[in-house]
Structure 1
Amino acid sequence: MPDVRTREHTVTLADGRLEVSWAAATDVGRRREVNQDAVLAEFPLFVVADGMGGHIGGEIASTSAIDRLRPVAESGAVTPKALEKALSRAVKDIAAHPEATDDGTGTTVTGFYFDAAASDPHWVTLNIGDSRVYLVRDGQIVQITTDHSVVQELIAAGRLSPEEAENHPYGNVITRAVGPSDSVKPDYVRLDLVDGDRFVVCSDGLTKELTDYGIQHFLSEHADPGEAVSEMMDAALENGGRDNISVIVVNVAASGDRYTGSSPDED
């Protein structure tokens, strides 16, 4: 895999300064012929899309979603309304390829963005599907998004343990996606801006091969986002690379008295 480059962006806030550094990569893995993942990592929006449906249908779906979200990121004005409008357009793009797509075609869309428009600048995660956003804060890793999957519903109902879910036959079955037969309204979670936070956005190709604590280990060993991404990708491939693998790592450095530790709070 080629070297993964770390990028940086600085934002001046009313009462401080935000410095963000990040890196991203995607890989076909060791068992798939086509990479149906797509990645967008352009401040202020970071997204992973994991497509599904037919040999190229999933690739069409994930690429359509990212292509429609890119102008939203470039505008700098990321809002739920803008995101959902872009995803609605992506659904039409997917449907425009009837030779390769059907009602079973779709893509996860998972990530987060920086909202500087409010009086209290903050992050917002978005999620449709079973790709994930993790936050490492004060030495603890937390999965912020909730998987839209059959096994997660079984876990929530108390019918399945997390350990049993790892090898469940319905492990790849998701209950929501961006596609012709699904809603394009993501789940949103608001997160405070806190100095020292680190985010990971990834497709399930990473979490099939690395535990949450494995992800945290590579972050703790590598302060540079590019190095952390490369090491996680290499480890996932060495552990089997059973699916396409995508990962984004984002480091947050914020100056200003108000940006000290606090807990995530959900809308």
Structure 2
Amino acid sequence: MIAEWSTHSGMIREQNEDSIGVFHAEGALLAIVADGMGGHAAGEVASKMAIDCASERWKAHAGTFTRKEASSWLNHLVRSLNLQLFEYAQNHAECHGMGTTFAVALCTDQWIAVSSVGDSRIYIWHEGEPIRQLTEDHTFVNELLKSGQITKEEAASHPKRHILMRSLGTEPTIALDTSVIDWGSGSHILICSDGLTNKLSDGQLSKIMECQASMHEKTEMMIQEANRAGGEDNVSVVIISQDGDGEKQ
């Protein structure tokens, strides 16, 4: 497995409150994108804490994962990180109300376990096929979309599309969205913050994934396109290749 990543503060914001974590182990890889929020430095604190704590738990795990073990491990990780961030915010007035999105993929050669909180997304892509979103946005606008109150086109420009219904660290308990899927030779995983997906459509993401470029160049191209489209938010991108196929130099 190969992973490449890039992050950028965007064209407007001085501070980058996104954090990325990519951690290797024998036969497995853990990749995370966390988009912090809370104002001042609190967002940066939340996303970095989430990544650092996940790293510690990853290092503490011994041995390989079965599918069931991976799903259980991710659920325990999300719950424990949520409570840890919530308690930290309660005990530090300057961080009161802080939180972060959290999109995580635990990858093996045969399958991937994914979990998400908020509106950072995980996609799967295979050459010749359109990119497909694996996670669900926990946003007010997505609730309107699912209930049929607005269309997908209206959702893309809705003034309340940034309102999260779920985030890590803002409540003492949290609902879980974890699944395990197979991925074959030549498959790629894309993990990103909403600074990317608010600017680039699934079609644009597919086009970049199809282009003749290395994985790292693709992460940079995505960020450049998001910034060219306005870049009002921080942008973070991780691309993971199942076996290196499709990385065209």
Provide TM-score, normalisation by structure 2.
Answer: 0.85
Query: Are residue 124 (structure 1) and residue 113 (structure 2) matched?
Result: yes
| Aligned counterpart in structure 1 of residue 100 of structure 2, from 104, 107, 110 | 107
* Matching residue of 1:146: 136
Secondary structure, in 3 states, of the residue corresponding to 1:237? helix
* Matching residue of 1:41: 22
Once the two structures are superposed, the pairs formed by residues 7-86 of structure 1 within 5 Å of their partners are 20-43=1-24, 44-75=29-60, 79-80=73-74, 81-86=76-81
Secondary structure, in 3 states, of the residue corresponding to 2:164? coil
Once the two structures are superposed, the pairs formed by residues 117-266 of structure 1 within 5 Å of their partners are 121-137=110-126, 139-181=129-171, 183-253=173-243
CA distance in 2, matches of 1:184, 1:52: 17
CA distance in 1, matches of 2:11, 2:244: 39
Per-residue deviation, 1:199: 0.8
Structure 1 spans left out of the alignment, 5+ residues: 1-19, 256-267
CA distance in 2, matches of 1:180, 1:215: 31
* CA 76–210 in structure 1, closer or farther in 2 if over 3 Å, else same: farther
Question: Which segment drifts farther, 156-165 or 32-41?
Answer: 32-41
8 Å contact kept, 1:64–1:93: no
Aligned length: 230
* Matching residue of 1:7: none
8 Å contact kept, 1:209–1:236: yes
8 Å contact kept, 2:3–2:239: yes
Could you give the per-residue CA deviations for residues 172-228 of structure 1, whole angstroms, max 9, x where no partner exists? 100000113253453112111311111110000001111111111111114521111
The structure with the greater share of residues assigned to helix is 2
CA distance in 1, matches of 2:61, 2:216: 23
Could you give the per-residue CA deviations for residues 24-52 of structure 1, whole angstroms, max 9, x where no partner exists? 11111111121111111123211111111
Identity %: 30
* Matching residue of 1:12: none
Per-residue deviation, 1:235: 1.2
* CA 87–165 in structure 1, closer or farther in 2 if over 3 Å, else same: same
Query: Are residue 96 (structure 1) and residue 91 (structure 2) matched?
Result: yes
Secondary structure, in 3 states, of the residue corresponding to 1:140? coil
* CA 197–157 in structure 1, closer or farther in 2 if over 3 Å, else same: same
CA distance in 1, matches of 2:211, 2:115: 28
